[in-house]
Amino acid sequence: MSYFERLGAKTFRPTPHVGGAWNLEEQHIAPALGLLVHAVESDRDARRDDRLTICRLSYDILGTVPLAPCDVAVTVLRGGRTIELVEAVLGHAGRAIVRLRAWLMRSGDTDTHAGTSLGPIEPPEAFEAWDPSSVWPGGFIASVEVRRKQMDTGRAAYWVRTMQPLVNDEQVSVLASVAGLLDIANGMAVRADPREIAYPNLDLTAHLFRQPTSRWIGFDTSVSFGPDGVGLTSSTLHDVSGPIGTQSQILTVRPF
């Protein structure tokens, strides 16, 4: 079973695999983030044939998402021959819930200059299997495979993948599939027991200097809580060949 089923040109129905962690009656936001990337790529490919590369994904999470059909709309905010800024919005009942702004650019040959000082993590086979449902409930968490090393409180490296297609009976890129896992970072390096304190993220921004090539997505994550109810989850992102970029999530920290 996939995470979403298409009901129309712009309408998608979540399946039980999308069930949330903070509230089982709501969607976990992670699959919706992948769905918005799929919408941006589908719109791009319908408009042009040069397959501009997505290099930044910046999501604002405006509210909770019910386990109900949602609509997706895509708008080109800044068109261009080599660079575009595209917005995709997930909504329900006329209300915008998640807003993605993605920068796309034309690729070029810079292989002779390629490199990074971001440190690698060990491959998935070097990590032990970990059951995230021991900490988090919900259909989405139950649908993923995690291999993790916890280094300290709020500090972990881990690999995540899923066998569930993002959208039923549709070809989806590796990037869109991986984007549907990015939001899991906030729950994999826990700083506090989520039964005692809530810390949902308000946003997620990922910068990619290389496109992912594997369904395994690796994270090197640190979680920080400030003294005034604000937190930050910061991650370096990896595929099986090495680092591909970074991401951050700002948190609202709320003791029960």
How does pLDDT run across 43-89, given as a tens digit for each residue?
999 999 999 999 999 999 999 999 999 999 999 999 999 999 999 99
Q: pTM score > 0.95 for this model? A: yes
Taking only the tens place, the pLDDT of each residue in 9-51 is 999 999 999 999 999 999 999 999 999 999 999 999 999 999 9
- Residue 56's beta-bridge partner residues? 103, 207
Provide the 3-class DSSP secondary structure of residue 103: strand
DSSP state of 200: -
- For residue 233, the Cα-to-chain-centroid distance in whole angstroms is 13
Query: Which residue ranges make up each domain of the chain?
Result: 4-106+123-255
- Alpha-carbon distance of 242 to 239, in angstroms, equals 6
Q: How confident is the model at residue 256 (pLDDT cuts 50, 70, 90)?
A: confident
Q: Hey, what amino acid is at 103?
A: W
pLDDT exceeding 70 applies to what percent of the chain?
Answer: 100
- Alpha-carbon distance of 130 to 45, in angstroms, equals 38
Taking only the tens place, the pLDDT of each residue in 183-220 is 999 999 999 999 999 999 999 999 999 999 999 999 99
Return the CATH number of the domain spanning residue range 4-106+123-255: 2.40.160.210
Evaluated on CA atoms 63, 207, 2, 167, the torsion sign reads positive
